Amino acid sequence: MHRVAYSDRDETGPDPEFAKPADGTVLKKTWLVGLSLMTVETAARTGSSQEFYSPMYLTPGTSASEQPIPLPDDDATTRALSAFDRNDTLDSHKVGIIYIGERQTLESEILPNVMGSADYDSFVSGLGTLVKLKGAKFNLHGLDRNDGADGEYTYCWRDRVTEIIFHITTMMPTNLEYDAPCIQKKRHIGNDFVNIIFNNSGLPFNFDTFPSDFNYVYIVITPEARATFVETRARARQDGQDQFYKVQVLSKPGFPSISPAAEAKIISGRSLAAYVRLLALNASVFSLVWAARDSGEYISSWRARLREIKKLREKHAHAHADATVTAIMQPMPAALDGLRGTISSPPGTRDSAALRRTSATTLWSEGTNRSSVLTTAPEMERTGSSDSRG
């Protein structure tokens, strides 16, 4: 799977408090720069501006087609920018994680688990970064961020292109008095296309253990040399790093077997988390494509953002190019008049006005108080007089 775009979301996020009320009204202006949008925010009174970072290779050249295109300050542009911002800066995926304890086979036995073995905990912690749910500012894919209904923490993984939010059943609260079938947990894993099963039951995993129309793929992890609880406690290392595991990808009937782990693979504990995470990411991407096969193509968030930028460019690029050409061509008649005067006049009768009009630098600085003509008019007149006398 090729991934060519990236996000600098965690490194160059905007500072919402860059300007204080005393700095005055904040003015905003947006430009199209290549296939990026650049917005500059400046406080009118003090000139304090929002910092903006851009990779050097995105800096445009000087050709008209590559110059920044200013977007108009109108309602249509505001709506277009709002549509662009509604697309995530990362392709976001959700993956469920379920722990099956010893001799457990039924959903009603498995979902109430609130803890797992030491090697399971080590595996989960290797999948990503522990994040707090309450007040989280990123897409949690349904996990509660306000009242702690789905626990206090979860694990997520992110690079410059993609993020994965893990729905971990053992990290979600269990209340058998009010929610005996654990519907609160099932509503997450039951809607995840991909689930990771850490099968420590000692029994084969049954694909239909968790009935759902949306579970396309199960990634089943089974200890290759299973030990009892007492034997595990007696090991020098209990985190599973020195153990080996069998990893197999099981697909729903009718779903293509596209994973290299469709046939079981033996993986070391040290490599287990990274390997399973990659399997889950690839399976999630394909599941999204598969789910959209009847309604049309699957469009990732990056592709949706690119489409919005292209719409803006198609709408405003021609108008900007026409305005640029008009601005460049406007001084040309005056320059041509000067050239005609130079050609038609004898060498001894040229005046300073004609020479000034034919100055290339004066042409570009027209309308300013700067001049590229270093020789004053009287000096040129004197030169012309002496030439005529000769």
Give tens-digit pLDDT for 296-335.
Answer: 889 988 889 999 999 999 888 877 666 555 555 555 555 4
Residue 343 has pLDDT above 60, yes or no: no
Please answer whether residues 142 and 188 qualify as being in contact, where contact means their C-beta atoms are separated by less than 8 angstroms.
yes
Which residue, among 36, 19, 24, has the nearest Cα to 310 in the 3D structure? 36
* Lowest-confidence region among 119-133, 245-259, 260-274, 316-330: 316-330
Which domains, and CATH codes, for the chain? 1-70+300-330 (no CATH), 91-291 (3.40.50.11210), 332-389 (no CATH)
Beta-bridge partners for 168: 97
**Dihedral class, residue 98 (left if φ above 0, else alpha if ψ from -120 to 50, else beta):** beta
Give tens-digit pLDDT for 352-366.
Answer: 444 333 333 333 333
d(CA 265, CA 268): 10
Q: Residues with Cβ < 8 Å from 14, sequence gap 6 or more?
A: 41, 50
pLDDT band of residue 79 (cuts 50, 70, 90) is very high
Residue 371 has φ and ψ, to the nearest 5°, of -135, 140
Give tens-digit pLDDT for 85-132.
Answer: 888 888 999 999 999 999 999 999 999 999 999 999 999 999 999 999
Q: Which two tokens stand for residue 322?
A: 């026409």
